[in-house]
Structure formats: C-alpha cells, structure tokens
Amino acid sequence: MLSHLISTLLTLVLILLGVAFFTLLERKALAYFQLRKGPNKVGISGLPQPLADAMKLFTKERIIPLTSNHVPFIATPVFSLFLALALWQLFPASNPSLFMVMGILFFLCVSALNVYTTLMAGWASNSKYALLGAIRAMAQTISYEVTMTLILLFYLILANSLDLYSIRFTNHFTPMALLLIPLANMWLVVILAETNRAPFDFAEGESELVSGFNVEYGGGGFTFLFIAEYANILFMSLLTSCVITGTILFSVFIAFVFLWARATLPRYRYDLLMSAAWKAFLPVSLAILTTLTPFMLLL
C-alpha cells in the first residue's frame, strides 16, 4: 500500500514536470516551424523558462469577477486538474498487478466528466464570451467522444481486454495500427478534436471569443486549466501508443504531432467540424465496427 502511494505521488510529480517542459518544447517547436528562435534568454537554452512561467502565474493577483458564481468559479479549475491527474492512475507503476482491470472503462468515465468542467467554467464566469466558448467546446467534445468510443471499442474487441497492460501485450505481435491504417488516422484526428487542439481549437477562438471559456480566469485558476489541458494531451499520446502500437516511446511522436498540427494547419470551420463528426466519422466508425468485428471474433 505504501509503495503504491509513493508510486502515485511520484507519477503526479513527473506529470507536472512533463507538462512544464512540454510547454517549452511547444514554444521551441513552433519557433523553428516559423523560422525564428524560441525561448532562449533564460539560463541554458531557455530550460528554466517553464519554472519562471509557473512562478509568474502563481504569484499573480487572484481576480474573481463580482458577477461570477464564486464557489463553482474557484472549484472548477481544481476539479479539472483533479480529473486530468486521475487519468494517470491507469499507469501507476511497472508492476502489472497495479494496473486497473477495467482501465479503459475508467478512462471513458473520467473523460466524459471533462465536459462538465468546461461548461462549468464558462457558466460560472457569468460572461457571454466564456459561455459561448464553453457551449462550443462542449458540443465539440461530446460529438467526437462518440466516435472516439466506437474506435476504441474496435481495438478493445481485437485485444479482448479492458486492461491497458494486456492491450500493450497484444500489440507486441502485430501493431493494431497496421491492421486498419485509415482507422488509426481517424483516431489521430479524433483525439485532436477531443482535446480542443489546433486546428480544432474552437474553445479558445481568440478572434471571435476572446480566449473562450477561460477568458475570466487568471493566475492560479488559469494555470490549473492550462496544466489540465496539457496533461490530457500527454495522456492521450500515451494511450494512443499503448492501444495502436504497444510501444510507450511512440507517445513522444504522437505528442509532437499535436505541435506539428498546430504549426501547420489553419483553423477549421466549426460547421465543417461538426459535419465531419456526425456525417463522416460516426458512420465510418460504425460501419467498421459492425462489419469487421464479427470476422475478428471468429478468428
């Protein structure tokens, strides 16, 4: 029990450090994509920059709008960070006995709760811009969560397990990404939309929504929402590598794809995004699941 507690605390500390330096990687990568220099003025090649950013954000004055709903306004960033860190309990240690038997089911339940944090942040701010951003983000997340579940269900049927350790072991023989490459590509698009990342970052449309659902947050509240977003990105990268390749190191490439897409692709139109979710991705994923699953079960 004590070893599990120590492993959990160590995992959380490493995730927070990983999020901090992933932001540095993002700024460096975007800089070189745009043929300029990234953060390089603080210390050695800008390595202390994430620590300086964290110190700046946490020491800022905490401002709560007078017309906001104070309790949910303060509690929502904390709850969002709690959900993001709770997902990492699926990877507590290298000991297989500590992995959750129903790990994927736990992931689907927690990821579904993330919708409520986005909606609560926009509603509690009592701002029309924040509420519009929250509604758009909620509709987008719910739409792509259906397709994400169907695609994930296909891979779960192939692995015949809900345990991530067993799924990784199944991929050691033949990576499931090679069995149906279009489905793997669809999965990458879905996780981009699910995490509200570019080119599907409609929750933070600065040009029309003034940063979206988190516009009224600053200092510690914004930091918690920011950490939760990047912790979810790293987790989705790790989940993707476990489910479709079985190689943990592949998660580094998936995380870089998030940055690559932001630097390369322009923002999508919202109506086209929703149309793709309900008229393209959902029918295709349903057709693949209902057509190929019986043959996989026979094998």
- Over residues 82-116, the pLDDT tens digits come to 999 989 888 755 555 556 778 888 999 998 898 89
pLDDT of 129 reads 84
Q: Which residues of the chain have pLDDT under 50?
A: none
pLDDT of 90 reads 82
Which residue range is the domain that position 44 belongs to?
Answer: 1-298
Tell which phi-psi region holds residue 126, choosing left (phi > 0), alpha (psi between -120 and 50) or beta.
Answer: left
Distance CA 115, CA 118 (A): 5
Measured CA distances, 165 to 85, 173, 260 (Å): 19, 14, 29
Measured CA distances, 123 to 12, 81, 174 (Å): 29, 18, 46
Distance CA 171, CA 151 (A): 16
pLDDT of 296 reads 65
- Tally of domains within the chain: 1
